[in-house]
Chain A
Amino acid sequence: MEKIFHVILTLLFIFSSVHLNFAAEKDTKFNPTIRIGGSTTMLPIIADASVKFMEKYKTWDKVDPIFPKEQIIIYVTGGGSGFGIKSVSEGTNHIGMSSRDIKEKEKELLGKYKEFLISKDCIAFAVNKKNPLVKRENLTREEIAKIYSGEAKSFYDIDKSLPKKPIVVIMRDVAGGSTEIVQHEVLKDRSFTSKAIQVQSQGANLKKLETNIYAISYISSVVAMKNPSLKVFKYEGVMPTNENAISGIYKLTRPLILLTKHDTDPAVMKFIDYMLNEGQEIVEEHGYVPLKTIGKDPVKTKKTR
């Protein structure tokens, strides 16, 4: 019996000391880990940038001497823009990635936060190169709205010279920022057809376009143009290039945003600074528009309630 008492006492002791440790850590201890999550469009850029950041500095004291000598650890995960914003408001991630503007309701949940525009992205409509639609160079808003609302069921309904093969309509799930842009800019009052296949990430979207010759989808124009098996359409006569996005002729663009709580760790801010300066080269390497060409002050501090 005594033995058991001893065991229990020791266990209690261990638990209580662990508990005390935690309480002490909260105030003073430096957090060497940054967790980033959200938009799958931004994932490759930020993952690449975080690897380069970690390789360049290795420990935090090299980023800034005021930090302790601890190894830099950055975790980057996907989940979609909605998840990125939600995770920041819930505190699961330090930085959220969002490839759309933040909604009013989300602003309420976030409270005081900061958002940083790191680049812009065009959404392009693309098909496989074997798709009947490749004869066309341009798609009008009306044609795309017809396809996505389900009014045009086969390629024949779009163009009488095309075969009567059904169109396989692919859409991103609503968590992907691009879906809302297509809804507001292209479909307007109409809703997405219930026949549309919802894919959950940019990767799944790409794979579906690569493997299905009757599929049409909207995808980041950089990703689509880099892929040799895909054809990208002009939308309303305008090619979805970075130049057209900056000059504003191409309408289907979205911001690529990093967001944090307003009182986030200084170490987290160091990474964001990196993304706004040196990191812009990585943005450009990935084919996106670097900040200097957008010519906007990227830092916006927002306060709601």
Chain B
Amino acid sequence: MKLIRGDTISKIISFIALIVGVSFLLLMLMFFFKESSIGFNFNPNLKKFLFQEGWSPLSSPPSFGIRHAIISTVFVSGLSLLLAIPIGIGIGLFLSEIAPKKVQILIQPALELLAGIPAVVYGFFGYAVFVKNFEIWFNMPTGECVLVAGIVLSMMVLPFIASTSAEAFRNVPWEYREAAYSLGVNRSYVIMKILFRKALPGLFAAVALGIARALGETLAVLMLAGNSTEIPKSLLDRAQPITALLATELGETSIGSEKYHALYSAGLLLMLVVLIINISIWLVKKRMKRLTYA
């Protein structure tokens, strides 16, 4: 009897904890929605805000379009994911299938350590190594650019993708491998035809984690992308992703001004994009699980 009561109490406590945790997300979304110009202070020029205008808060009249920030975010995060996803999944595969135990023991903590390094250290590393050398290699007047930010960001995203995808490969039941090998197929066949298919939902989770991290990272891209409001046209152009725009401008903004609403709208946009990507990946994953384990 006593045991059951204790059980219900712990249930209630964990339920409350869950409510508190989830309500933070909801409250934040609501707050951003309220403060943004998309929400209650509806901006009739949403299209202009998102796609047409530039960002120049000091000119008269001021304009607060975030086109350059959207394009910059797509450039920088896209580049970093392009680099990090194949390498990360490769590392994950190597870790779970190919690497001998000793190597695994060495690489796993290294990945965790890599994931734990603060963003400012990555930023500083990029500044000292890449920015300086890019000036020499590409004969640039100053080295900050999309490419530098993308490379460093990919290093930051890599450990998340690598360890999550290693987990996904490990979770494929051992019987599949045994059955396959007993039929006489080689390792590359097992990896390509069996493991990849079975691990696909987990790999999607790895990619989702990578995307969220790449979109949300602020400090390193702020230091490395150049923080200019121009629209990047090539990899060697300067850029200002949405997160960098927020970090640069929000400190100065007076509450209730047009700029304030514009910045909150940019924040809301970022949150919605991450949410949509996560939900859609979750849906795909669910569908796949049903297909693969049916």
Contact = CB atoms under 8 A, between A and B. Distances in A.
Co-complex (A, B): yes
Interface of A: 1, 4, 79-83, 85-86, 103, 105-106, 109, 165-168, 173-175, 179-180, 183, 189, 191-200, 211-212, 214-215
B233 to A, nearest CB: 12
A165 B228 contact: no
A82 B141 contact: no
Nearest to A169: B228
Contact of B58 (A80, A183, A197): A183
A197 to B, nearest CB: 5
A167 B141 CA distance: 8
B142 A4 contact: no
Interface residues of B, number: 35
B55 to A, nearest CB: 8
Interface centre among B141, B222, B227, B252 (most CB of A within 10 A): B252
Contacts of B249: 173-175
B141 A103 contact: no
Contacts, number: 89
B188 interface: no
A214 B56 CA distance: 24
Contact of A173 (B5, B59, B238, B248): B248
Nearest to B255: A109
Given A165-B141, A195-B228, A215-B142, A180 B251 contact: no
Given A166-B141, A168-B142, A197-B142, A175 B251 contact: yes
Contacts of A214: 141-142
B144 interface: yes
B238 A83 contact: no
B252 A82 contact: yes
A194 B68 contact: yes
B64 to A, nearest CB: 12
21 contacts: A1-B2, A82-B251, A85-B254, A86-B252, A86-B253, A106-B254, A174-B252, A175-B251, A183-B58, A189-B60, A191-B58, A191-B59, A193-B230, A194-B55, A194-B228, A194-B231, A195-B228, A197-B142, A197-B228, A200-B248, A215-B142
Nearest to B230: A194
B106 interface: no
Nearest to B142: A168
B9 interface: yes
Contacts of A174: 57-58, 248-249, 252
A198 B58 contact: no
Contact of B227 (A79, A191, A198): A198
B182 interface: no
A148 to B, nearest CB: 11
A191 B248 contact: no
A43 B227 CA distance: 24
Contacts of B6: 4
Contacts of B226: 197
B5 A1 contact: yes
A180 B55 CA distance: 16
Interface centre among A81, A165, A197, A198 (most CB of B within 10 A): A198
A109 B257 CA distance: 11
Interface of B is mostly: loop
A91 to B, nearest CB: 13
Given A173-B248, A195-B238, 11 more contacts: A4-B9, A79-B251, A80-B252, A81-B252, A86-B254, A106-B254, A194-B55, A194-B68, A197-B144, A198-B240, A199-B227
A80 B251 contact: yes
Contacts of A166: 141
Nearest to A182: B58
B159 interface: no
B58 A179 contact: yes
A79 B142 CA distance: 26
Nearest to A212: B142
A175 B141 contact: no
A168 B141 contact: yes
A105 B258 CA distance: 12
Contacts of B56: 191-192, 194
A180 B58 CA distance: 7
A197 B141 contact: no
Contacts of B135: 212
A191 B59 CA distance: 5
Contacts of A109: 254-255
Contacts of A191: 56, 58-59
B54 interface: yes
Interface string B180-223: 00000000000000000000000000000000000000000010
A7 B2 CA distance: 16
B229 interface: yes
Contacts of A193: 230
A14 B216 CA distance: 39
B62 to A, nearest CB: 9
